[in-house]
Amino acid sequence: MKLETLIVDIQDKIAIVTVNRPSALNAINDKVMTELNEVFSSILDPKVISGVIVTGSGEKAFVAGADISELKDKSDLEGSKVSKKGHDTYNAIENYSRPVIAAINGFSLGGGNELAMSCHIRIASDNAKFGQPEVNLGLIPGYGGTQRLIQYIGKGRAMELLLTGDMIDAEKALEYGLITHVTTQETLIPTAKKIITKISKKGPQAVALTIDMVNVFFDKSSNGFVKEIAGFGKTIGSEESTEGVNAFLEKRKPEFGT
C-alpha cells in the first residue's frame, strides 16, 4: 500500500510514523485513519521492530484534530461509522505488541489527542498544547476521548476539560499524568528512541503480555487478575524466562531473542 498521508521511517528497528499533512496542521481525515489502521494492522511487523514512535510533521502540530470539513452534513449513521473506524484504528494502536510512543511536537487536540492517548506512552515538547474541544462544535469526542482521558487524568479533571473545551500546556499535562516527559523540540524524538531502546532490552514476550495485561484493566468484559495468572504462567514456562532467570543468577545481562 502506497502511503499518501503518513511517512514511515524505520531506523535501527524503531519505526517512526509521521502524520504528514502540515498545511492542515496534520488533521486526521479519512485517508489518515485508513493508513494508520493499515500501518499498525499489517505493515509494521512486531517481529522485526522494537517499537514505534508516532509524531506529526513540522513544529506546530502533532495532530490538531479531525478534518472538520469531512464531518459536515453527516447523518447519524454516517457519523457512527466514522467513529467506529476511529475506534478500530486506535484500538489497533493500543493493542500493538511493541511499545508505541506518541512524540507530541505541538497541538494535540480532538482526534489528535485521542491518537496520542491510544499510544502506550506520551512525551511532549515544551510547546505542546492538549485538549478535547469538540463541545465547541456541538460534538463529543468520537475516537475514545471520553473514556481514555478519564483513565489518564481522572474523572474530575477529564470532565472539566471535556466540558469546557479548554487547552492545557505541556507542564500541566505532565502534572496531570497525561504525559510522562517534557523535552525540547530537538530532543523529543531522541528521548522517545531512548525509551524504546531501553524497553527493547527486556523480554519481548513479557513486554507484549504486559501491554495486554495493562489494557485488560480497562476492559469491563475481562477479569484482569485471571488473565494475569494465565499470563504469568505462560511467561514463567518460556525459554525467554529461563534465560532471564539464569542471567540474573549468573550475574550477567540476558540475551533475549526477538
Whole-angstrom distance, CA of residue 152 vs CA of residue 121: 11
**Angle of CA points 69, 109, 43, to nearest 5°:** 80
Residue of 103, 106, 98 lying closest to 53 (CA atoms): 103
In the beta sheet, which residues pair with residue 55? 18
Q: Which one of 78, 114, 175, 243 is the catalytic residue?
A: 114
Residue 244 C-alpha cell reads as 532471564
What residues contact 3, with CB distance under 8 A and at least 6 apart?
A: 35, 38, 39
Whether 35 is catalytic: no
The answer to whether 19 and 55 are in contact (CB under 8 A) is: yes
Q: Which one of 94, 134, 239, 243 is the catalytic residue?
A: 134
The answer to whether 123 and 192 are in contact (CB under 8 A) is: yes
Residue of 227, 241, 217, 200 lying closest to 98 (CA atoms): 200
Within a 10 A sphere around the Cβ of 3, how many other Cβ atoms?
A: 17
Whether 59 is catalytic: no
Residue at grid coordinates 485538549: 131
Catalytic positions: 114, 134
